[in-house]
């Protein structure tokens, strides 16, 4: 009876094989790395080159920011929720815009901003 229970438990245990990620990956300590003198020289050359000129003539530095838009690439954090809307309201949003959820969000944001201004 006990051997049947053991065999049943062993069927449920996930067997680790040599190809598992856990067994493939392991940390290497700094002391375990052996560098030849040629490798050390190569690293030193790269460190000296690090102070290279990174300016790009094809992309000149922008000095006039008068026409730029503040927050142009700002993307607020989205949170997934469930909202119950009246069927006719949802139908109107779906007809009004292909991306109706974005349109609903825009309408809510406009309402929020309008009411924030009133409080001030």
The per-residue pLDDT for 40 is: 87
The per-residue pLDDT for 12 is: 54
Q: Which residues of the chain carry a pLDDT beneath 50?
A: none
The per-residue pLDDT for 65 is: 80
The per-residue pLDDT for 88 is: 96
User: Cα–Cα–Cα angle for 8, 13, 14, nearest 5°?
Assistant: 140
The per-residue pLDDT for 87 is: 96
The per-residue pLDDT for 103 is: 94
The per-residue pLDDT for 6 is: 57
The per-residue pLDDT for 90 is: 96
28's tokens = 């290497």
């Amino acid at each position: 009876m006990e051997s049947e229970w053991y065999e049943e438990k062993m069927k449920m245990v996930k067997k680790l094989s040599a190809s598992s990620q856990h067994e493939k990956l392991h940390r290497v300590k700094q002391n375990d790395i052996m560098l030849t003198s040629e490798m050390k020289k190569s690293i030193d050359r790269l460190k000296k080159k690090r102070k290279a000129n990174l300016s790009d003539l094809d992309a000149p530095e922008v000095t006039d920011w008068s026409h730029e838009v503040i927050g142009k690439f700002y993307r607020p954090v989205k949170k997934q929720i469930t909202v119950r809307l009246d069927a006719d309201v949802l139908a109107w949003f779906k007809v009004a815009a292909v991306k109706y959820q974005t349109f609903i969000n825009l309408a809510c944001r406009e309402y929020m901003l309008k009411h924030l201004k009133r409080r001030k």
